Structures are given as structure tokens and as C-alpha cells.
Structure 1
């Protein structure tokens, strides 16, 4: 990024899990490898130092010189997002060129997502907002766009994410989210959008939105199942909540109303504490032939997030319309689960994700 303009990355939530596990190590790696903008400053922000933040940012701007862009990266819990956005507005930080980076989940249901979108747009324009889904920047995921599926012969599409690990100590976060919010609403639906969208358009975000608009949840006629949710054995003890209904496994059967995908079953599946770690798009053809497209782990995904934000590559970030469409799809599921207590499947750790 030798030609990138001077940049100050202001990291809110610098003491949190996301910053400590991913962002700070990636920024150090980029610094060591010389892949940050030549003129770059990182400023950490937490509740303890909000009062001095403007002073530190102003000093950094003077040191860097020229036209400086500020990246406000909100690596904070979902409930703190509005508060931080309001602080940025009233603190005097919003001067010159700036961008706002937001981490998922973007709301916890359709109503809260709509409220969050409206609230943030009071302070930032859509082209200043960069909603992060690190799956979108993976090279293997970008490869989906170049695929040309033999649509006329496809029987089903399964987008599957299996994880060996459980919640790994993220008790508060997971009890407030669950697999539907944490994984389906962002990663799996974005993979579905990339798989189903038309190719050749100039605005990839509009193409993803169009694909999401055509998706709806339906029942599998053969199994009489629309949606399944599960929880691995020992989860309730792990979170010290014997009555927890939080799901660690989700199965959703869908169809697309796009004529190109008519009659093709689309399944989204994700689960924790499974036998193996893998993320795949499985295409099953009518002649029983299968095509498996692997989404490989990429430890430098957040490096590409930062690079894309610095350079203003909006196509690798999620639009507000994508957020709202994904919640539109899942809203009925959430409403059903709120009023149901007898549909949670308890499954053993280490099982095959397709066995639940």
C-alpha cells in the first residue's frame, strides 16, 4: 500500500477478544512486513481513555501530515455500538475523511437491525460505513464468483460450516447470540448470496442483495423439516445456565425464487463441537455427481479487511440492504424459537454434522 494516503486506525475495544486475538497480531504482522500505509498510526480506545482520545488523534494527524483518513474500527460488543457511534459524533473526531468499520452481529433481529441502520446513518453516510464479514475477503470465497455452475442439472446446494471447537470461553457473547446470529446471519447467507447471484454486474453488493431477496425458508417435503436447532452436550454446564436454549447447531432448508434456481433445494448447516472443522459448498447433481467447493481457513483474512478498508474497496464489505435482507429471511425462525421449548436437539460432541 505504498500509494495509500496517511491513515490513523482508531481501534475501539482494544482490550477485547477480537482485538487481542486477531486485529493486533495482524497489524503487527503488517507492520513487520511493510504492508501498512507508509504513514500509519494505531490508536487504541477504551472507556478508560475516551477523554484523551481527541488529543492523541490530533497529535497523530500533525505528525503524519497531509490529508489523513481516520478508520474508526468498532471491535466492541453489539450493545455498545450505538454508544461508540454517538461518542464519535460528539467528540470532535469526525473531521476530514473518515470511515466506520463495524463487526457482526449487526443487530439481533430484524427490528434491532433496522434501528441500528437508522441510528448509524444519522451520523455516517452509507459509503462511509464498512460492515465487516471476514469470510467475504477470503481468496477461496472470492473464487466462488468466478464459478459457472451447471444449473440445469443441479438437485441441491448445501452450504455447510462445521467446527470442532465449542464456544471456547465466550460465554457472555454466545449466550446473547447463538449460531443463527453468529454464523448463519452473516457467513452462511453471504456464501449463499455469492453462490446464487448473477455474474457480470458492476456492483457486487447489489448482486448479493438481489440474491438474498429471492431466498425464503421452506420445508423439505421428504423430511417435513424447515429448520432444526441443536445444542452440544455439556453446553449448559459450560455456560452455567441449566435452562439455556441457545443453539450451537442450525439447519435451514430454503429455496430461491430466481427462475434460474427453480426447484433446487438450498440448505444451510452450521454446528459447533463437531467431528471435524470444515466449510464447504456442496453441489449435488441429478446424476449423483457431487462437486465440493472448500472454503479454506485463511489466517490473514483480517489483513485483507484492513487493506480493503484503507483502499476503500466497498465490495468486500456488507451493505445495509444485505443486513436487512438476511434478517428478513431469519425473522420468522427467531419468532418461532422464542415461543418453542421442545425442539432443541441435544447432540454429542464430536458427531458428524450431517447426523443431527
Structure 2
């Protein structure tokens, strides 16, 4: 079976916030990589937009500097860089005012796909959407891309969705979550639905529990003002981890189409039980040796915002009844690591003498830092002296099959090109966002009502002790972070 890169149509991509950090670090380098592999048609153009006054040449020099800083030297070719920069233009636009919109309209072509990427504050989303509509820039074939956070709670998410839908149809709105663009996340769907091996076992009868971990070594310094008003529940659980949960727990869609996939994801969120207070642990990292703690980083000595959350979640449907999902995320932990671990039930009986309890297989989908898939199995320990058993991991990352020179795509590369293709499969639908907030909001409100402080944990640890007990009381253990 031979795969091929699906070409895209000629397009004008307008990047609002083109001088911002996300554009420099991720979006523009990602577009450059797509250009170097020939996925960008000759007629494609990228139009940077921000309040800064500069001409196209000045913008190209800023992008050149960004590519030098955020693109590996081995991936930079002077001829290719120049060719990519030739596709760039720039129009200064006041996103919250009237300036520059006529000039932007004049820069756009009428006969190509138009995509508007809003790499700006969410407070500007609805206003920009309205100005695009009112100025006639938004055509029937236009797409608008918005970054998280998609609201602060259910009410604000509903208001945001209403503001976007007042000017664009739902099929034109792309709510981007870069976790869904990771190669291994998509491989999870391929693993389940393109193979006959796992899907018959993918249920409560055979799976003991599932662990989803997103651990970070960095703190919140530099993001303190934003993070202290958000916290780990809003910043990570409501979007990233809920999305990973949905892809792990969803039923097979009837077809691999955007709405069919997203219909099944919504069903998972709607099947989530309310979380019992005893099934959730919040934490906040304390200062390490010679460093600052969370409260120092946010400049609020009385902060009660969590930098860590661990929780046990139940999906109340036929497939998953009795199989818990454990979610865990936090800052300043031992290692940077994101994974989904599907822990199968222990074998019910052992025929081997002098062998204790056999442990169930574990399928691990690693998202970062090294994307891949492994399966823990039990085999005979090689050598004489009788039959001894040992555990080994079967590597299913396909690194050798793909070739050593196969550079993994950054999530933004894939997702931006999906926008141009008009493929919404890996993007969140409005009702999906609102369903996730409806599930999360009561938890956050209960914390506010109780006034309880998050448990302190040491920077560089695995989180609060209470998070370990969340598993231990069920006779289970977390997989070691960084192990």
C-alpha cells in the first residue's frame, strides 16, 4: 500500500498576529516545511497581518530570522528559504478598529481558497470574524482558524461560538488543538480501526484501565498572569486531555469523515460521569532549590490555582462500564512526557510453575518527546536453566519502516494544510467544546465554593502524594514519569 501527499488548491492564507510568538515559533516554520516538500502550489500566498507598520520586505526579514531561530540548520536551504519568502506579503491591520481592512481586501484574490488564521487573543476572535464578514473578505469558501482557549467556561464558550457562527458557517470554523495533529494521536485511530487485532479487545472485558499523562518540566514563569486565571483544569484537561480521552474511548465512526468522527467524540464527552471530589487531586508546585515556586512565578502569594490535576473518570456506556480512565497533567514534574497507556487485564490463570501473578499487557502510545507506540508483552527469558518469564516491549513506532530520513511533521504543519484542504476531522466542533466545558465547569465551581488550597508538591517530582493514593486505593499504580 503506497500513500501519497494530497495536493492542496491555490490559497491566500492571512495570518493575523503574524509578528507574535506562536507565528514565529510554530506556524511560519511549519508552512516553510510544507513548502520544502512541495505541498504548497506555486500560486499559494501567505499574507502576514498585525498592527505593526512595516512593508512586505520588512516582514520577510522577520520571517527569515524566525526560520533561522526555530528551524534546524539541516532543514534550511538558502534557495528554498528565498522561494518561501517570495510567497509572503504583509498588510498592517488594526484588528479591533477600521484601519487596514480595505488594503487587506485589495491584497486578496477572488479565485483561490481564503483562510484566515487568528493567532491573536481570544478576545479579538468575534470582532475579527465580524469585520471579515462585513468587509466582504469572507467568501462562501473561506475558512477561519482560532486557537485555544475556546472560552473560559461554558457561558463564554457559547458566546464565542455565537460570535463566530454569526459570521461563518460551522463548516468554515476550525478550532485548532495541536495535540490532535500529532502523528501518534492519528496512529491511535489507525491502530484501532485499520487492524483486526486490537478493536475486539478494546472494551471493559479486556482492558483494566487507561492512563493519560501530559507532564511538563517547565513552570508557569512568563505566563503567570494568564495561567493564574486559568489553571491546569482549564488549560489542559478541558481540551487536550479530554480530546485524547475521546479518541481512546470513542466508538468506530461509520466513515472516516469529519462529522462522523466528531459525532463519536461528542458521545464520549456526554457519557462522562460527574467527577466525585474524592476522585480528583489538585496540586501546586513549591519552590525547588534556589528557584521559585508557583506563587512566585504568578506574583500571587495567596494563589489557589492548580498547576497539577489528577483524576479518575468513568465513561458510562456499554463499552467502558467498570473501566476507569485516569487523567494526569502538571507543571514542574520530573520529565516532559505525554502518553496514553492502555492497561489490559491480567491473565486469569497461569500454567507456569514458580511464577507469580502475571501482569497484563500494556499498549503505550507516546506523544512526546519521542513519538511512538510500544506493547509490553511477557516472553520466555532466553537461556538454559528452566523456563523463566520476562517482560519486553515490542516497538511499534515504525521508525525503520518509515526510514531514518523521515522527519516527523510538526502538528501545525499538518493542521494548517488540513484547513486549506477543508478537512475538519482533526478540529473541534462547537458542540464538542461546549460539552467539555459543561463537564468541567462543576468541578471548577466546587473548588471555588470549598476554598480548599491545592496540595503542595516538590518541583521535579511526580506530583502530590495524594495523586499516588488515587491509584493505590484501587490496587493500581501510575506509570513512572520519565521511567
TM-score, structure 2 as length reference: 0.68
Shift of 1:230: 1.3
The question of 1:68 aligning with 2:178 is answered no
Higher helix residue share: 1
Q: Confirm or deny: 8 A CA contact 1:78 1:105 kept in the other structure.
A: yes
Q: Confirm or deny: 8 A CA contact 2:220 2:298 kept in the other structure.
A: no
The question of 1:269 aligning with 2:269 is answered no
Shift of 1:200: 4.2
Q: Confirm or deny: 8 A CA contact 1:54 1:93 kept in the other structure.
A: no
- Distance (whole Å) between structure 1 residues aligned to residue 234 and residue 422 of structure 2: 27
- Distance (whole Å) between structure 1 residues aligned to residue 174 and residue 254 of structure 2: 21
2:125 corresponds to: 81
Shift of 1:3: 4.3
2:272 corresponds to: 215
1:289 corresponds to: 360
Q: Deviations over 1:286-333 (max 9, x none)?
A: 314241222234661100011111111111111111101111110111
2:170 corresponds to: 126
Shift of 1:47: 3.5
- Distance (whole Å) between structure 2 residues aligned to residue 155 and residue 25 of structure 1: 41
- Distance (whole Å) between structure 2 residues aligned to residue 334 and residue 283 of structure 1: 28
2:352 corresponds to: none
Counting matched residue pairs gives: 348
1:12 corresponds to: 16
2:471 corresponds to: none
2:428 corresponds to: 318
- Distance (whole Å) between structure 2 residues aligned to residue 142 and residue 94 of structure 1: 31
- Distance (whole Å) between structure 1 residues aligned to residue 19 and residue 229 of structure 2: 20
Aligned match for 1:170, one of 218, 223, 240: 223
3-state SS, counterpart of residue 97 of structure 1: coil
Q: Confirm or deny: 8 A CA contact 1:184 1:270 kept in the other structure.
A: yes
- Structure 1 gaps of 5+ residues are none
3-state SS, counterpart of residue 368 of structure 2: coil
3-state SS, counterpart of residue 253 of structure 1: strand
- Distance (whole Å) between structure 1 residues aligned to residue 30 and residue 281 of structure 2: 36
- Structure 2 gaps of 5+ residues are 53-91, 94-98, 193-197, 287-292, 347-358, 370-407, 468-483
Q: Deviations over 1:267-303 (max 9, x none)?
A: 1110111001111112233314241222234661100
3-state SS, counterpart of residue 204 of structure 1: helix
Report which structure shows greater RCO (CA 8 Å, sep ≥6): 1
What is the 5 A alignment of 1:37-76?
A: 37-48=41-52, 49-50=92-93, 51-61=99-109, 67-76=111-120
Shift of 1:95: 3.4
1:225–1:139 Cα change, 3 Å: same
